[in-house]
Homo-oligomer: A and B are copies of this chain.
Amino acid sequence: MSEYIVKIDLDKPAYEQAGVHNRWHPDVPANASIKQNKSYKAECFDWTGGQVGNNDSADDIKYCDLSRIHYLSGPFFVEDCEPGDVLKVSIQDVQPLERQPWGYCGVFAKENGGGFLDKHYPKAAKAVFDFEGIYATSRHIPGVKFPGICHPGIIGVLPSHEVLAEWNSRETTLVQAHPHADFVMANLPNEHGAYAGINATEEQQKAVASYGARTIPGRPENGGNCDIKALTRGSTVYLPTYLPGGMLSLGDLHFSQGDGEISFCGAIEMAGCITFSVSVIKNGMRKLAMKSPMYLPSPVAPRFGPDRYLTFEGFSVDEEGNQLCLDTTVAYRQTCLRVIEYLRRYGYNDYQIYLLLSTAPIEGHIAGIVDVPNSCTTIGLPMDIFDFDISPEGEVVKKDMSNCAFAEDDLREGFAFTKEL
C-alpha cells in the first residue's frame, strides 16, 4: 500500500506549503526520507502553483508570474543513496486529483514566456480541458478527445555545488554572449519568487534564492524539466545523483503532451498525484557510464495503429525561404506549421491548433540529420483523436470550431487568429 509523503492544499498559496520547493540547489532541505522498494504517493501542484483558473480568459496566462513556478514535490532523501549512485525511479501511476478534474494549456505571450511559434502567434491564449476517466476534452478545442499519457514534466535530483556552479557559469556565458537577443535565452537565478521549502532556514532560503538554478530547462546532469511524455505511468527512470540521499524532486504534472511541448506551457497542465518507488544502483554512474538520465517507457500508453498517424514533414528552410544548415529546431518548427495549415481547413484557428499540437499525443521524430543542408523532422498526428475524418481522402467541411480563450485587452485591441505564411 502506497504511503502519502506530500499532500497539498489547493486553496492556499503554494509558497506557504510544506513538501515543495521551486529551485535546484544543494541546500534545499529534504522534505522526507524514503526507503527503497516501498511505494509512495506525492501530490503535486500544477506548474504555476494555481495561478491559472478554469475560465474563458487567458488573462492569467498573460500575466502569469514566471518566477513563482514549478513547485516541485520533494526533495526526498533516499536511504542508502550516495553521490555517484543511480536512482531507479519506478513511476507507478500519475493521476489528476479527484478534487480538481481539469487542466489547461497556455500559449504564453511573446513578452512573458513565449513559445515555439511566438514569432507568428505572439498573444496569450488558453484552453481548459476536462477529464472524464482517462480522456480529456476541451470546450476551447471542440471535436477532439484523447486518452491522457499522464507524466511528470519534471523529475530530477538536486545538484551538488559543483554541478550548480557549472550550470550557472555556462548559462551566464550564453546570456552574456548575446546581449542583444530579442528573447530570453536562459533564465538565470532570480531571488524573486524563490522558495526553498517550508523547512528551510533563513540562510538556506537565501542561498537557494541567490544561486539556485531555475527549473525551466531540463539539464543533462540531472534531468529536470525534460517534458518527456514517455515518462508515463509504468515507466522507469534512471537518474544520476550528486548528493547524499540522492535528493529526488518531481512535479509539473501533465495529463497529456505532444512531443516538443511546443507552446511552452504546452502540456495539459494539472495538479495531481504521482505514485512511485525507488531503488538504488550503487556506483551506478560509473557502472552505466551515465552522464544523463535514461529510461524505459511503459508497456501501457495510448497506442493508435501505426497507420493511423498522419505524418507531416518539415525541413531546415525557414518561413522566409532562408536555407539553414542542419538546423533541426527550424525543421521542427516548419513541421508544426505544416500541421497548422492542414488542420486550419476544418475551421480551427491557428491558436487552437497550436494548443492542440502542444497537448495531444503527437509523435515528433528526427528523420534525417546528415544530408546537408537539410534536417528533416516529422510529426505524426493521430487521426483517431478527432471525431471527424481528417485523412487526406476525407471530405473537408469547415465547421464552427468556437474559439480558445484570449486575454481581454488583446481581444479589445484586435489581432489575427490565423496567419497565412
Q: Which residues of A contact B (CB under 8 A)?
A: 1-2, 39, 86, 88, 91-93, 101-102, 115-116, 130, 132-135, 147, 166, 170-171, 173-174, 178, 183-187, 216-220, 223, 225-230, 233-235, 238, 259-264, 266, 275-277, 281, 284, 287-315, 317, 321-329, 332, 334, 338, 341-342, 344-345, 363-378, 380, 384, 391-393, 396
Contacts and interface: CB of A to CB of B under 8 A. Distances in A.
A345 B289 contact: yes
Given A217-B372, A317-B219, A378 B230 contact: yes
Nearest to A288: B392
Contacts of A223: 313
A218 B315 contact: yes
Contacts of A300: 134, 147, 300-303
A285 to B, nearest CB: 11
Given A1-B101, A306-B303, A311-B297, A92 B289 contact: no
8 contacts: A171-B323, A173-B323, A216-B371, A217-B373, A259-B365, A260-B370, A261-B371, A366-B366
Contacts of A289: 341-342, 344-345
A298 to B, nearest CB: 6
A332 B366 contact: yes
Given A290-B342, A297-B311, A332-B369, 19 more contacts: A39-B132, A88-B392, A166-B321, A170-B323, A185-B372, A218-B315, A219-B317, A225-B368, A226-B313, A228-B368, A228-B376, A263-B370, A288-B392, A299-B307, A300-B301, A303-B303, A303-B305, A305-B384, A327-B327
B307 A307 contact: no
Nearest to A217: B374
Contacts of A334: 220, 292
Given A306-B301, A338-B294, A392-B294, A174 B373 contact: yes
A275 to B, nearest CB: 4
B297 A306 contact: yes
Nearest to A266: B370
A62 B36 CA distance: 37
A369 to B, nearest CB: 4
A313 B178 CA distance: 27
Which of A261, A328, A377 gathers most chain B CB within 10 Å? A328
Contact of A134 (B186, B230, B234, B292): B234
A244 B337 CA distance: 28
A308 to B, nearest CB: 5
Given A296-B311, A307-B234, A368 B226 contact: yes
A166 B370 CA distance: 21
A280 to B, nearest CB: 12
A374 B219 contact: yes
A2 to B, nearest CB: 6
Contact of A299 (B1, B297, B304, B366): B304
Contacts of A290: 342
A266 to B, nearest CB: 6
Contacts of A366: 259-260, 328, 332, 364-366, 377
A112 B338 CA distance: 34
Contacts of A281: 392-393
Nearest to A345: B289
A87 to B, nearest CB: 12
A119 to B, nearest CB: 13
